Structure 1
Amino acid sequence: MTGYIEDITFLNEKAIKFGNEKVEAILAPSLGSNLLSLKYKHKDIEVLRTPVSLEEYKKAPILYGMPILFPPNRIEGGQFTYKGTEYRFPVNERGKFNHIHGFLHDKPWQVCKKEVNGKEIVINTEFSSSEFDLKDSFPQDITVNMSLSLRAETLDIKLEITNKGIEPFPWGAGYHTVFNFPFGPGGKLEDCRISLPVNKHWELNERSLPTGAIHETADTMEIQNGFSLEGRLFDDLFGYDEERALENECILTDQEAGIHVIYHADQHFMFWVLFNQEGFVCPEPYTWVTNAPNLDLSAKLTGLRELRSGETVQLRTRLAIKDI
């Protein structure tokens, strides 16, 4: 299966188109290293929500492709303190006075590697905080390296976060992955199902922040086996509180299109946010719960982790497109 890589212009930005006989994708390094297109060529189906113009994209960049979140979701008042160090982010959700979505998704990344190795295509990009004035928000020096590996209809994504500074910092990461749903043009939501590997529902307040109350999910078996989004809107936070007997993967199925997408996340991703609007759905894997550094809960419960000087953590996710 022959792979290919092309340098293209997309949304008036330099971008990378890569693919094989099964799948074609577009990555925009200058737009937060966002995977803005993932097309299943066999059925001419665009799996991800892709903007048609730069103007459309600029209206809501977080609602296209696969934005990288660091930190993920919301930070109350845009600030927290960890071991005496203050972290201050811009309050960009003004109606709720929160910071939302972090600082990686809207910064340019550098391209480190583009190569075809037999049946595998590898694209590697990197973000370095030293290239930006982030000291007021995130005073530690970090690098984040993303590696995309495409083989047949499966895309593996590895995110490496490295502490280049002296002091430890708390970290949380995630993806705001935006799928067309239904997948096919003219499809019906009644023909679609989504499943999540969760059994706990975190209660949120009017600012969409966790209250600390955690409940059993309603209809746990249904949410784990697949349910319809027809007539239902979500902006909900879920977790899983047992030794993981389930595969940590969300499965999106469109019977009319005849495909399903398996979205796998490794053991670091303890939480899933589900957000949907007409025509799309965002199953968002997170390593920490929303507003984790400000919650009066144990790190084991919230997923808050520390990265010490010189340490690197690797996070792995995978998207696989299959015929039903």
Structure 2
Amino acid sequence: MSTYWAGPLHKEGFSIIRLTDEESRASAELIPAIGNNLYRFTCDGVEVLMPPASLSSLWHEPNEVFKYGTPLLSPPNRVRNGRFLFKGREYKLPLNEPPDHHLHGEICSKAWKVVGYGASEKEGAWVTSQFRYADYPEIMGYFPHMLVFTMTYRLKAGRLYMEGGIENKGVEEAPFAFGLHPYFAVPFGDGEEISLRVPAAAEWPVTNQAFVIGTPEESAFSRELLQGADIENYPLLGCSLITMSQDGDRTCRIEMKNQDYTIAYQFDQTFPYVVLFRPDWASAYSLEPYTYVTDAFNLPYEHELTGARGIRAGEQVLFTTGMWIEK
């Protein structure tokens, strides 16, 4: 009998995909109909991600799709007034954070199509889903580019990987911005000592909405992150924007010292930046890898600094992330 299993299940009236790894006592669940959100991951008795109270709340409550599990973001974070310029064209995105801003894009709320799943000792348990802008006329109305997002979640040897690709199947270069927003379940309070390590190179000055207000510099906090910053008192709704080191291991770690386990999260160089965020609606902490800094197309800085870029016709951007528990 295989260690791994992958397949569809019905839960709370929704079709979900579950991946299991019996040897590692690990399982993951995602809901393709709501942004392909990987909303639960448990391993060796630890709840790694903060799930919603119910799948129906994820579906019905305003902005719940942004608040639990692992929302997929394009563009990540806010676009001021929903507007920006790229290659001489003005883009006007819907103001889904009234009255002023566009927030997190729409791929995190719309349905994805499952194109395959399976399980074997060699491949682990996996599922592949796709999202095509061309399937949504309302998106093409303000973002007329035929981008195709393909994501594979793979559970193997107790580690959960995301292997992704974004391809431009159109004929024009498109503005490109992508990010992930995992909410890691962190037991704040009760005297728990919590340490965060990030391979940080510099910190950007930002507002409490993560808008950039200056250029990045090495800071006391970015230096502290290298060794382990205490985050038990990190402010609710507080955020930090960090430029990652481009050298060596790119694994971030949240260590629960009293309970003697660590959440590890690794992402590749496709994501030069990470946003740190503590929500006030759940005992969780987010490490959000981004391809650009918030609202980069509207910033007066060199694109090499901010990550503002395009994806050419026929180009494909690939990335890999992984999360696991260390004890």
Cα distance, 1:258 vs. partner? 2.6
2:78 is aligned to 74
Shift of 1:188: 3.8
Partner of 1:285: 289
The residue matched to 2:288 in structure 1 has which SS? strand
- Point out the more displaced range, 4-13 or 111-120: 4-13
Q: Post-superposition shift, 1:193? A: 1.4
Q: Which residue of 1 aligns with 2:162?
A: 157
Q: Distance in 2 between matches of 1:100 and 1:206?
A: 14
Q: Could you give the per-residue CA deviations for residues 131-153 of structure 1, whole angstroms, max 9, x where no partner exists?
A: 10112321111110001121111
Residues 5, 198 of structure 1: CA spacing in aligned structure 2 closer, same or farther, 3 A cutoff? same
What SS class does the counterpart of residue 39 from structure 2 fall into? strand
1:52 is displaced (CA, Å) by 2.5
Alignment correspondent of 1:15: 16
| Cα separation, 1, equivalents of 2:173 and 2:18 | 37
Give the residue type in structure 2 aligned to 1:9. H
2:31 maps to: 28
| Partner SS state of residue 264, structure 1 | strand
Residues 221 and 229, structure 2, Cα contact 8 Å, conserved in 1? no
Counterpart position of 1:275: 277
Q: How far did 1:50 drift?
A: 0.6
Larger CA deviation: 126-135 vs 57-66: 57-66
The answer on whether the counterparts of 1:153 and 1:322 sit within 8 Å (CA) in structure 2 is: no
Q: How far is the alpha carbon of 1:200 from its aligned partner?
A: 1.6
Q: TM-score, normalised by structure 2?
A: 0.90
Q: Matched residues in 1 for 2:319 and 2:204: separation?
A: 23
**Partner SS state of residue 216, structure 1:** coil
Contact 1:212 1:297 in 2 (8 A): no
Q: Is 1:168 aligned to residue 169 of structure 2?
A: no
Distance 1:229 1:205, change over 3 A: closer
How does 1:77-92 map onto structure 2 within 5 Å? 77-92=81-96
Partner residue of 2:113 out of 110, 125, 128:
110
In 2, Cα distance between equivalents of 1:282 and 1:10: 26
SS at match of 2:117: strand
CA distance in 1, matches of 2:143, 2:214: 26
- Residue 184 of structure 2: aligned partner: 179
Q: Give the counterpart of 1:126 among 127, 130, 135.
A: 130
Aligned amino acid, residue 38 of structure 1: F
1:96-149, CA deviations, whole angstroms, 9 ceiling, x for partnerless residues?
x11111121001000011111225112100001111011232111111000112
- Give secondary structure in 2 for the equivalent of 1:223: helix
Contact 2:6–2:127, Cα closer than 8 Å, also in 1: no
2:261 alignment partner in structure 1 = 259
CA distance in 1 between counterparts of 2:191 and 2:284 reads 10
Q: 1:106 to 1:219 in 2, by over 3 A?
A: closer
Does the 8 A contact of 2:76 with 2:104 survive in 1?
yes
Helix, strand or coil at the partner of 2:33: helix
Structure 2: unaligned runs, 5 residues or longer: none
Contact kept, 8 Å, 2:41 with 2:48, in 1: the verdict is yes
Conserved? CA contact 1:249–1:262, under 8 Å: yes
Distance 1:68 1:103 in 2: 9
Whether the aligned pair in 2 keeps the contact of 1:265 and 1:318 (CA below 8 Å) is yes
- Alignment equivalent of 2:203, drawn from 196, 201, 204: 201
Q: Which residue of 2 aligns with 1:53?
A: 54
Residue among 39, 42, 57 paired with 1:39: 42
Distance in 2, matches of 1:64 and 1:182, equals 15
TM-score w.r.t. length of structure 1: 0.91
Give the C-alpha shift of residue 11 in structure 1: 4.2
In the alignment, does 2:112 pair up with 1:101? no
The 10-residue stretch of structure 1 (250-259 or 282-291) with the greater mean CA deviation from structure 2: 250-259
Letter in 2 for 1:85: R
The alignment-based identity, stated in percent, is 30
Q: How much has 1:84 moved relative to structure 2?
A: 2.3
Distance across 2 between alignment mates of 1:101 and 1:210: 16
Match of 2:304 among 285, 300, 315: 300
Query: In the comparison of the two structures, how many residue pairs are matched?
Result: 315
Structure 1 residue 189, shift from structure 2 partner: 5.8
* Structure 1 letter corresponding to 2:155: L
Superposed displacement of residue 201, structure 1: 1.6
> Conserved in 1, the CA contact under 8 Å of 2:203 and 2:222?
no
For 2:83 and 2:37, locate their aligned partners in 1 and report how far apart those are by CA, in whole Å. 26
3-state DSSP of counterpart to 2:293: coil
The one-letter amino acid of 2:9's match is I
User: Which has the higher mean CA deviation after the structures are superposed, 31-40 or 119-128?
Assistant: 119-128
